[in-house]
Structure 1
């Protein structure tokens, strides 16, 4: 492997990750604005984004804090929303597990929905990539998204309530998840898990502190896993 091929892998990741800035940017601005309106100062908003780097969990925690939910509920809910990252990590380990420790530390720090979705799809499509090339692609896929995430979080927090209320920034979250999840619904277990999570979340919409989402997520994972076991047993 040459430096050129590693550079090419990084540039490929940079190119593939570029479209997600149109989601990460507005999403980060919205978080900065809402966090400021919730009473956080600029330092607290940026610390939140730099330490957590998990938009969905940050919005969940912020909403629950605004609703004066108990601290334990805020923590459990944010952690539950981020449980998917543990599954992302397990899925990427076969491809990146042999990388040096310092690289794996940064891989873990930068692991978000976009970096996982792009990298896992690329590694499956191009299995002959070496570990250094995979790491380069992964970091390339993160670069622009992270720049926009931190920069726009700062902009949103700095602008605060100066932005017009009718600015449609809240479109970013559903579009981001739809663009990442939809292409992955390729098997019966995936479809079963998604459908179960949707139904349970809707049925539990009145559960306090948005815990209906947790019920839907846990139920979806259980049904998806059981469906996969059923299919394996049937094939056996």
Structure 2
């Protein structure tokens, strides 16, 4: 009975992850094309997507490398862009922290924006789910997403300039994040942090090496955390 329930949750997660294929594939194709045009070999590009496994951070790092930015800036920017993963992990640990070490390691590797978004929403909507059902749902959600990221990168390398302009692959990036972020804007802290990051990033867009993005990310997290603390204190008062 328990195994049947896990299978059910796996396929529920799978269905929740399928819509993201529409943005993950163009996203991966675009990275394959851009990295190749930037001078990366096919092996380097595939390794980038397979090891780093973080689309937004990969694009940010790639652009800085093309601009010959200092390696310290490249690393700091990639870490800043991916700092949200640390917050994702802290959030997921409340629901998946008791899983075996090998499962947690695998979850950490394949945890991406899409898997986190659908999983955390599911866990909060159905807190009665047991650990095995939660992990089954999570792995179901990443199944249609993560392998296709690698495959799409390879296709981007192979197709290169053969991809027609009308496909407008560059639209995949903002569409992907809008689809992820919109359902997660549930509290005042979330909305204030999002608005802060947008405003500060726009104001500091002229800084070299995308340093404005670093400042915006840090400031948004600080402001969001302060709003969250203020909300909790007000609720207790």
Alignment TM-score > 0.5, same fold: yes
- Following superposition, the deviation at residue 147 of structure 1 comes to 2.1
The equivalent of 1:133 in structure 2 is: 133
The equivalent of 1:99 in structure 2 is: 99
CA offsets, 1:177-213, max 9 Å, x none? 1111112112111111111111111110101001111
The equivalent of 1:23 in structure 2 is: 23
Which structure 1 residue ranges, 5 or more long, are not aligned?
none
Number of matched residues? 236
- Following superposition, the deviation at residue 165 of structure 1 comes to 4.2
Cα distance in structure 2, aligned partners of 1:191 and 1:33: 34
The equivalent of 1:196 in structure 2 is: 196
CA offsets, 1:29-63, max 9 Å, x none? 00000000001111111100110110000000011
CA offsets, 1:77-132, max 9 Å, x none? 00110000000000000111111111111000001000000110011111111111
Question: Aligned with 1:84: secondary structure?
Answer: helix
The equivalent of 2:59 in structure 1 is: 59
Question: Aligned with 2:145: secondary structure?
Answer: helix
The equivalent of 1:182 in structure 2 is: 182
The equivalent of 1:118 in structure 2 is: 118
TM-score under structure 2 length normalisation: 0.96
For the aligned residues, what is the CA RMSD? 1.1
Cα distance in structure 1, aligned partners of 2:170 and 2:41: 21
Cα distance in structure 2, aligned partners of 1:113 and 1:125: 18
1:88 counterpart = 2:106? no
TM-score under structure 1 length normalisation: 0.97
The equivalent of 2:39 in structure 1 is: 39
The equivalent of 2:143 in structure 1 is: 143
Deviates more, 1:202-211 or 1:166-175: 166-175
- Following superposition, the deviation at residue 231 of structure 1 comes to 2.2
The equivalent of 2:7 in structure 1 is: 7
